[in-house]
Amino acid sequence: MNQGSSKQQLRAQLRETVQVAILDAAEELIADRGLHAAPLAQIARRAGVAVGTLYNYFADREAMIVALFENRRAQLRPALRTAIAAGRDLAFEPRLRQFVHDVLRVFEIHRRFIKVVIETEHLRLKSSTTGQDLGKGVEEVVEAGVIEGVIDRGRAELFALTVIAALKGIVLRRISDGAPLLPDAVPLIELLLDGARSR
C-alpha cells in the first residue's frame, strides 16, 4: 500500500488544516463576542496565522463568514434531512419525538455554531440557512400531524412556531449554561403535545 503522500496531497492537507483552524477561530470568536466584535486581527491571532494569511483562504471577511456558514451547514444539513426523513413511516407523535431528539443530538455536536446561527438570525445573512432548514423540518413534521388529524390545521402554524421557538430558546439556555441538550427532548415533546397541566 502507498502510505506516503505526494507533495500535492501534503500541501492540500496543510491547506485544509489551516482553513479549518481559521473557521474554528472565527466561529469561536463570533460565538463568544458576536459577529461584529470579531475583527480579522483577532481571528488570525486565535487561528495562529497572520492577517494576510486569511486572504489566502477567503476573498474577504464576508466570504470567510459565508464559508463558515456553508461549511457548518454542509455538516448539519444532511443530519437534519436524515432527522426529517427518519420518521417518515412513523405516526405523528413518535415522529415528532424522533425528530426533536435527532435535532437536539445534531445541535449538541455543533453547539457553538448553533449559538452563532440563532444569535445572528436577525441579521438575515444570506448564507445562514440552518434556521430555515430547521423551520422546514418542523413544518414538514407538523404538516404530517395535520394530515393525520392529530393537529388542527388552524393551529398548525402557531404550533410550528412554538416548537421552533422552544427549541431555540432551550438550546440557547442550555448552551449558555454549559448543560447538555438531549435531556430536554422528551419533556419538551410531552409538554408540547400534552400541555403543562399535570394529570
By the criterion CB under 7 A, which residues form the site for DNA?
A: 7, 10-11, 14-15, 18, 37-41, 49-57, 59-62
User: Around 195, how many Cα atoms within 13 Å sit in the side-chain half-sphere?
Assistant: 3
- Identify residue 182 by its one-letter amino acid code: L
Least Cβ distance, residue 68 to DNA (angstroms): 14
Kindly tell me which of 21 and 40 has the beta carbon lying closer to a second copy: 40
What sign results for the dihedral spanned by CA atoms 70, 117, 110, 93? negative
Kindly tell me which of 10 and 20 has the beta carbon lying closer to a second copy: 10
**Residue 84: CB partners within 8 Å, gap ≥ 6?**
99, 136, 137, 140, 141
Residue 126 binds a second copy (CB under 8 A): no
- Give residues 51-110 in contact with a second copy (rule: CB under 8 A): none
Sole binder of a second copy in the list 21, 26, 123, 126 (CB under 8 A): 123
Beta-carbon count within 10 A of 69 CB: 23
Helical residues (DSSP H) of 87-199, grouped into ranges: 92-109, 111-120, 130-148, 153-177, 185-194
- Per-residue string for binding with a second copy, 103-122, x by CB under 8 A? ---------------xx--x
Q: Report what 4 binds from DNA, a second copy, none; CB cut-off 5-8 Å by kind.
A: none
Q: Report what 126 binds from a second copy, DNA, none; CB cut-off 5-8 Å by kind.
A: none
Helical residues (DSSP H) of 88-129, grouped into ranges: 92-109, 111-120
Q: Report what 77 binds from a second copy, DNA, none; CB cut-off 5-8 Å by kind.
A: none
Question: Could you give the CA distance from residue 189 to residue 142 in angstroms, rounded to a whole number?
Answer: 13
Least Cβ distance, residue 75 to DNA (angstroms): 23
Cβ burial of 31 (10 Å; 0-12, 13-18, 19+) is buried
Residue 191 binds a second copy (CB under 8 A): yes
Least Cβ distance, residue 70 to a second copy (angstroms): 22
